[in-house]
Amino acid sequence: MRATKSIKQKIPQNHDLDSMMEIFRNMVNHCIKIGLKHNCSTLKKLSILSYHDLDSQGLVTSYKLNTISQACGILAKHKKLIRKGKNPKIPHVTRPFLTNCYGFKINNSLMSIPYKPRQPINILLNDHTQKILSDPTLTVRSFTMTGLNISICVSKETEKIECTKIVGIDRNLRNVTVGNDEKVIFYKTNKLLSIKQNTIFARAGFKRNDHRKKLQYYKNLQQRLQNRTRQFLHKISKQIVGDALTNKTVIAFEDLKGIRKMYRKGNNQGNKYRKKLNGWQFYELQRQIEYKALWVGIPVVFVDPKRTSKLCPICGERIQEDRQNRRKLLCINCGKSMDRDVIASMNIAHKAWSRFTHARDDTGEATSELFSRMMEPKSSCYGDVAIQIVDVSKCGWKG
């Protein structure tokens, strides 16, 4: 398997780079125009149509194919939207950027980017980037520049780790539950809600009658919110992938789809409730875990979220809501009451196990040890689960 990652660093202001980014943007827009005119979005066809037009723009030849491929991506997205019956705007790149996968070199602390024939621009890489790039197993694939940032894309070949167990991850608004029938870990995410709430207060606190300043202020706040949320989730995802690597476990997720549709206007929900749930970044944790797990060779699988918190993980019977505590669920058959997130994570692990470790033909026989153990009614099963609660905001780890 090939795993990819990118390293981002700041670069000092450089007029030559700025002009290159501006030219690159114009070239992409030029290609988009040609693509729209001839109604094509394939690399081959667009290359034939626009390759020689790009000669006069002033960039080195190595950038030309990248421009065309960028334009192809944008055109394909545009076509897809039209196919879906939407009415998208005419595509146009507004921000200057530069990307290339040919002709650049990295030599210890210097990265040279083609600028004019035999006259490259050198960029000084910082210690962090140098440290990562010093790994001989990595291959540098491309770089992208936007504003004062450069990201270098690296990839490596990873080998899949043979796993013996599986953990299910249940994502909720206030916690992330990771577990199987042996151990359950709760990661509290209450902090994310308070970060979000603080941002809303800060937005409301802007009183100046200046539309331009207001937009800038909102944009900065949004960026800060995103950075803080990501940083917080990075701590959790790092811990989860680290645990999975030491215990050799497969990670199973619910394949959540259509979450935003559930909290639309007109669904008989309150304004505040909808705002809270629509601000929930459920996908970010999955994205981080997916790439981190791929990087170390841990498989990530997805299961259908249907009925994960409706069936008992021990006997498979339908369970009821506990009347005393709404976060708990009660199984009449086993006579046990358990937290609904613990049940969900156990069910996800169970579902993934039965689906991905057995071929579909012999599902009739419960061959695996875990499967048979989970199927036999065992009253002490819930008692065996060790539950650990982790509050990331109080831990001193660096993400």
Of 143 and 382, nearer to Zn ion (C-beta) is 382
Of 44 and 327, nearer to Zn ion (C-beta) is 327
DSSP assignment letter at 160: -
The footprint of Zn ion (CB under 5 A) covers 312, 314-315, 317, 331, 333-334
| Strands in the chain per DSSP E | 2-10, 97-100, 105-107, 110-116, 119-124, 139-146, 149-157, 165-171, 175-179, 183-188, 249-254, 300-303, 320-321, 328-331, 336-339, 386-391
Of 164 and 333, nearer to Zn ion (C-beta) is 333
Of 305 and 316, nearer to Zn ion (C-beta) is 316
**Could you identify the residue written with the tokens 């002009």?**
19
Beta carbon of residue 71, minimum distance to Zn ion (angstroms, whole number): 57
Beta carbon of residue 177, minimum distance to Zn ion (angstroms, whole number): 19
**Partners of residue 6 on adjacent β-strands:** 153
Q: Which two tokens stand for residue 295?
A: 């990087």
* Nearest CA-CA partner of 373 in 181, 175, 210, 156: 181
Of 121 and 375, nearer to Zn ion (C-beta) is 375
**Partners of residue 331 on adjacent β-strands:** 336
Residue nearest to Zn ion (CB): 312
Beta carbon of residue 167, minimum distance to Zn ion (angstroms, whole number): 21
**What interhelical angle do 211-247 and 282-296 show, nearest 10?**
40
Cβ pair 145, 152 in contact under 8 A: no
How many angstroms separate the Cα of 160 from the Cα of each of 163, 247, 248, 279, 296? 9, 14, 11, 35, 8
Burial class of residue 306 in the structure, from the number of CB atoms within 10 Å of its CB (0-12 exposed, 13-18 middle, 19+ buried): exposed
Q: How far apart are CA 225 and CA 193, in angstroms?
A: 11
Of 16 and 376, nearer to Zn ion (C-beta) is 376
Q: Which two tokens stand for residue 130?
A: 């140098």
Beta carbon of residue 383, minimum distance to Zn ion (angstroms, whole number): 14
Beta carbon of residue 286, minimum distance to Zn ion (angstroms, whole number): 29
Of 333 and 393, nearer to Zn ion (C-beta) is 333
Q: Which two tokens stand for residue 391?
A: 């509050």
Of 101 and 366, nearer to Zn ion (C-beta) is 366
**Partners of residue 152 on adjacent β-strands:** 7, 143
> What long-range pairs does 104-107 form, CB within 8 A, spacing at least 24?
104/143, 106/133, 106/140, 106/152
Beta carbon of residue 365, minimum distance to Zn ion (angstroms, whole number): 22
Of 272 and 323, nearer to Zn ion (C-beta) is 323
Beta carbon of residue 382, minimum distance to Zn ion (angstroms, whole number): 9
Beta carbon of residue 381, minimum distance to Zn ion (angstroms, whole number): 9
Beta carbon of residue 155, minimum distance to Zn ion (angstroms, whole number): 46
